[in-house]
Amino acid sequence: MAVSRREPKGLNLVGQCWQWKLRYVPGSKGTMGLAIVGFFALMALLATWIVPYSPHQANFTAWQPPTWGHWLGTDDYGQDVLSQLIVGAQASLVVGVLAGLLSGLIGVTVGITAGYKGGATDEILMRLVDFLLVIPTLALMIVVSAFIPSSGQTTEIMVIGGLSWLWMARVVRSQVMSERRRGYVDAARVLGVSDREIMFREILPNVVPVIVANMTLIITVSILVQASLNFLGIGSPTAISWGSMLSLAFADNAIDQGAWWWTIPPGLCLTLLAYGFSLIGHAILQGYAQSREQ
């Protein structure tokens, strides 16, 4: 009698995750993107336990270059740069991901409504999108942020997410306009299914890959915009982020002091994190295009 061999649960879970990766984020670029984003996500989650010092501790020698005690040196306040870099990952990821989700929610709702309804509804919504696209987004965010009393992370998420949904709406609209001509939509109408159910239960699942891919790109933009706002001094003055690190380094003439360890690491982390999300987005779009061709 043959005895079935069961794999350990841990190996089974790893195999399922790998199958999910191959299906939705194919290719070496997708793997690289997931690795980069996963590294920074892990760093943000474990920040409290892995920081060598408190990021606000300012009793070290100022302008100290990298040593065994301070791997990325210290700033002009005598604070450990590595500790600030690790804690700063939390702000960039939290604001970027939540702003991207908020932007995606608004963009998907507007896009699927305009694409499916058509007519006057489509015309009004798209003219609103076109009007907002004419206005420089970053400048508009700066103006809006200046008029909001609170300037914490919640404000950053609301401002960035509330003004970054425009391209998502246009992309989703174009996809929905293509999907609404397909046979399954006509069959749902014949069966008396409501427009809301057709939009969100029939059409939406078929455009999810496009939505997720564009959301990763929106998250990329949100991370860079948040860093730009912090660099300009907009945001919580006490919160540590990669943008605020660059802002302080620039204000305190770190470049003139030759303190490359204070300027290059946060800029490099921003670049790598944005690059990782971009790789994931392109891999998802590539996999979606290949599946449509089959």
* CATH number of the domain enclosing 81: 1.10.3720.10
Average confidence score pLDDT of the chain: 84
Domain total in the chain: 1
Asked if residue 7 is part of any domain, the answer here is no
- The predicted model gives 243-248 an average pLDDT of 91
Asked if residue 36 is part of any domain, the answer here is no
Helices (H), 180-294: 183-190, 195-197, 208-231, 242-251, 260-293
Tokens of 276: 């990782």
222-249 core/surface letters (b: 16 or more CB in 10 A; e: else): bbbbbbbbbbeebbbeebbbbbbbbbbb
pLDDT digits (tens, 9 = 90+) for 122-135: 999 999 999 888 88
The pTM for the full model equals 0.84
Asked if residue 31 is part of any domain, the answer here is no
pLDDT digits (tens, 9 = 90+) for 173-232: 999 998 888 888 888 888 888 888 889 888 888 888 888 888 888 899 889 988 888 888
Structural domain harbouring 122 = 77-293
Asked if residue 16 is part of any domain, the answer here is no
Asked if residue 49 is part of any domain, the answer here is no
Looking at residue 152, what is its pLDDT? 75
User: Ranked by mean pLDDT, which of 98-112, 200-214, 232-246 comes out on top?
Assistant: 98-112
Asked if residue 66 is part of any domain, the answer here is no
